[in-house]
Structure 1
Amino acid sequence: MNKNSVKLLNFPKITDPRGNLTFLQHSSQIPFEIKRTFWVYDVPGGEVRGGHAFYKQQEVIIALSGSFDVVITKTDGTIEKHSLNRSYYGIYLPALTWRHIENFSTNALSLHISSDFFSKEDYLRDFNDFKAVNHE
């Protein structure tokens, strides 16, 4: 897997009449060692999450329930929108990817799998700083 580009990931879906099952494993499905996981839920209608990039951290985002859009903004201002609405696929975001999440459905639950522990120093929260880092 190219660790420098955003990529949709398909995870195994084991179907069963009693309910389906999907699993994740490092390194055959997640392209980094998992150091942290967190989830976002109860997002009020119209709210936006994210609005940042990371210097080093890589991330996979999965819609465990409901739906939402992951919006990637490139340094030239072009936008890619990825709608997530199934728990058997997710999106891989390499380091230095500007993103925000919007359009959360009622009861949406997003799972975030990270390559690093939380560090406020790893966050790029200003888009102009992000553009400057990407042009160095």
Structure 2
Amino acid sequence: MSIIKHRILGDHRGQLVAIEGQKDVPFEVKRVFYIYGTQLGVPRGQHSHHKTQQYLIALNGSCKVTLDDGKKKITYDLNQPNIGLLQDALVWGTMHDFTPDCVLLVLASEHYDEADYIRNYDDFLKVVGA
């Protein structure tokens, strides 16, 4: 679990943030998805992965992300398009408090595999030995 600030490049034409897998993000990016149009007060995520690492960036608007390793919970405020949050495998993640204009980009280290998900919090605690 860590926040990474990326350098903003640009000029009078606009801003640019470049993110490269295995350089700016500590894994090869195998899947990309984004969340937008969320409902007020409805959280997303609320699961963990056995293997998958994720890297989250609020490209527009903002949201909060609470990461829980079974021993401690930390809530991060993602509100700048050059700030990314690394979520390791075996960390429970909940995205919440989305602004109406939020677009949350997620880069994942693995292809989608339903068997990689831990969707029950009590099962997660057993897996991490908490």
Q: Using the alignment, how far apart are the partners of 1:47 and 1:18 within structure 2? A: 36
Partner in structure 2 of residue 20 of structure 1: 15
Q: Using the alignment, how far apart are the partners of 1:120 and 1:135 within structure 2? A: 22
Q: What SS does structure 2 have at the residue aligned with 1:61? A: strand
Q: What SS does structure 2 have at the residue aligned with 1:15? A: strand
Partner in structure 1 of residue 40 of structure 2: 45
Partner in structure 2 of residue 72 of structure 1: 67
Q: Which amino acid aligns with 2:94?
A: H
1:35 and 2:24 correspond: no
TM-superposed CA distance for 1:27, in Å, is: 1.7
RMSD: 1.2
Q: Using the alignment, how far apart are the partners of 2:24 and 2:84 within structure 1? A: 11
Q: What SS does structure 2 have at the residue aligned with 1:43? A: coil
Partner in structure 2 of residue 127 of structure 1: 121
Deviations 1:90-116 (A, max 9, x none): 100110010100000011000000000
TM-superposed CA distance for 1:73, in Å, is: 2.3
Partner in structure 1 of residue 97 of structure 2: 103
Structure 1, unpaired ranges of 5+: 1-5
Q: Which runs of 4+ in 1 moved over 3 A?
A: none
Deviations 1:49-84 (A, max 9, x none): 0000000000000000000000112314x3210000
Partner in structure 2 of residue 91 of structure 1: 85
Q: Using the alignment, how far apart are the partners of 2:99 and 2:21 within structure 1? A: 29
Q: Which amino acid aligns with 1:87?
A: P
Q: Using the alignment, how far apart are the partners of 1:122 and 1:74 within structure 2? A: 16
Q: TM-score, normalised by structure 2?
A: 0.95
Q: Do the aligned residues in 1 keep the contact of 2:66 with 2:93 (CA within 8 Å)?
A: yes
Q: TM-score, normalised by structure 1?
A: 0.91
TM-superposed CA distance for 1:17, in Å, is: 2.2
Partner in structure 2 of residue 113 of structure 1: 107
Q: Using the alignment, how far apart are the partners of 2:21 and 2:45 within structure 1? A: 25
TM-superposed CA distance for 1:117, in Å, is: 0.4
